[in-house]
Amino acid sequence: MLYLQPKKLPGLTESVIVLLFIISVISFFIISLESTPHTPILIGILILLAYGTMRKFRFDQLQHGMVQGAQSGMPAVLLFFVIGILIASWMASGTIPALMSVAFSLTGGPFIYALVFTITAFTGVALGSSFTTAATVGVAFMGAAQTTDLSLAVMAGAIVSGAFFGDKMSPLSDTTNLSSTVVKVDLFDHIKNMMWTTVPAFIITFILFAFLSPGSSRGTTLSPFEEGLLSTGLIHWSSWIPLAVLVLFTVTKRPAFVSLSVTSITATIIAGLRGTMEWGAVLSSWFSGFEIETQNEGLTDMLSRGGMNGMFFTISIVILALALGGLLFTTGIIPSILQSAQKGLQSVRSATIATAFTAIGINVTVGEQYLSILLTGEAFQDVYDRVGLARKNLSRTLEDAGTVINPLVPWSVCGVFMAGVLGVPVLEYLPFAFFCLLSPLLTIISGFTGKTLSKKSEAKMEVS
């Protein structure tokens, strides 16, 4: 969105004041008044429209900024629709119930949160998508947690932590490829260099979740839910086929939209052929979601979900948040701050810390991880060259402070999605998303100490 900036930028002080005011208003409504994000984001848009009018912007210019901002989120919006279909079709085919059955068998053992974190982490690496990981394995674990005395907030934190470990470290991940591409660094050199901060973050996160996990307490609590799940007739050997198709398409590097669409169609065909639902009902579930009646009300609520209709809440927040981001660029607020951030950075410490806080700031203000990576990467390439740092340090910082921060922002694309799919508000799981909190902290510590940072002459695989 950097092309949306006006010819004359506002001053740094003015930009910071306006930005902090808008963030304060949104935070007050969401945290203090416990409002849904839609209203405060819309108020933020109205404030920026008023500010833009005071600065002599024409309304059509401001409107263009909102449209361009919202338009940047269309790939995510279309993906959300397909994920809604995937959840519904995987319920009908028994794929998610089968995963839930496996999750039930694990939840009674010790170190459950650490186990969930590890499973979702490796699933995320295999699939290369935090969204897909949360919508499949994550939904299964949340369903199992709802039937026990396990904390839903901690469980969601473990799932989010694992999903974004995978999103960060997988060579199949969009954000991983974007981070290496935007700063012209070899993909696997980038992944290897991320291990300096990612491995310690993983180990600490695992220990914290192991400490929070209850002891083995299987008992008979789960039996009614497990028996009810089996009695639905949803679980069948064919229920694993959609998962196998998804893994196959992911390994062969098909686009996420194509992979999720094909596996959803596969699941729908399986549900129809098995007679789980009538064909008309199966296709209707693509929009309205999967519905089933069981003798256990909790199990009914757990299984009845998905569909495009269920994603509208998420999509509407994403569109509003990105429209707000478009206005922040059109009025010159973010470009002014980015331009000022580049000045006076003459040391390794200042470059690393400024990069981290810029990536975090764009996540908080714009709510989009791709823009956080793209804009910060473009803004700081010359700075890293000037202070003699290899660019793979920049790509690592983009992931440490860009990719994993997005699910911690209530109005961000990832935050809204995770809250909607897992059924836990962002502010509730945020304190337990240890991996996402530790990654930027470790990269900032690295900047302060200079440890694990490679000098420019040490970079062996930079792309000229």
Task: DSSP for 311-369, please give it.
Answer: GHHHHHHHHHHHHHHHHHHHTTHHHHHHHHHHTT--SHHHHHHHHHHHHHHHHHHH--H
Q: Final residue of a domain: which of 288, 311, 334?
A: 311
Residue 224 falls within a domain, yes or no?
Answer: no
Q: Final residue of a domain: which of 311, 332, 350?
A: 311
Q: Are residues 307 and 329 in the same domain?
A: no
Q: Final residue of a domain: which of 281, 311, 341?
A: 311
| Ordered per-residue pLDDT tens for the chain, 464 residues | 555 567 678 888 888 898 889 888 887 887 777 777 788 889 989 999 999 998 888 898 899 888 888 887 787 788 778 888 988 888 888 888 887 777 667 666 678 899 889 988 888 886 777 887 888 788 888 877 877 778 899 999 999 999 999 888 887 677 787 788 778 887 778 888 888 999 999 999 999 999 998 865 554 444 566 667 777 778 888 888 998 888 888 778 787 788 888 989 999 999 888 887 788 888 888 988 888 877 766 667 777 777 888 778 778 877 887 788 788 888 888 788 777 766 666 677 778 888 888 888 888 877 777 777 877 877 787 778 888 888 888 888 989 988 899 899 888 888 888 998 898 999 999 999 999 999 999 998 888 887 777 776 544 434 33
Q: Are residues 192 and 252 in the same domain?
A: yes
Q: Are residues 379 and 394 in the same domain?
A: yes
Q: Are residues 9 and 128 in the same domain?
A: no
Residue 190 falls within a domain, yes or no?
Answer: yes
Q: Are residues 367 and 271 in the same domain?
A: no
Residue 220 falls within a domain, yes or no?
Answer: no
Residue 464 falls within a domain, yes or no?
Answer: no
From residue 64, alpha-carbon distances to 193, 330, 442 in Å are 40, 8, 39
Residue 223 falls within a domain, yes or no?
Answer: no
Q: How far apart are CA 269 and CA 379, in angstroms?
A: 48
Q: Are residues 454 and 424 in the same domain?
A: yes
Q: Are residues 149 and 283 in the same domain?
A: yes
Residues of the chain with pLDDT > 90: what percent? 16
* 13-25 pLDDT tens trace: 888 898 889 888 8
- Tokens 């083995």 correspond to 216
Q: Are residues 352 and 339 in the same domain?
A: yes
Quote the domain boundaries for residue 167.
Answer: 75-215+230-311
Averaged pLDDT of the chain: 82
Q: Are residues 209 and 111 in the same domain?
A: yes
Q: Are residues 201 and 132 in the same domain?
A: yes
Residue 316 falls within a domain, yes or no?
Answer: no
Q: How far apart are CA 68 and CA 9, in angstroms?
A: 19
Q: Are 239 and 93 in contact (CB under 8 A)?
A: yes
Q: Are residues 58 and 175 in the same domain?
A: no
Residue 132 falls within a domain, yes or no?
Answer: yes
- Count CB-CB contacts under 10 A for residue 21: 13
Beta bridge partners of 455: 389
Residue 332 falls within a domain, yes or no?
Answer: yes
Rg over CA atoms, the chain: 23
Number of domains the chain contains: 2
Q: Are residues 50 and 169 in the same domain?
A: no
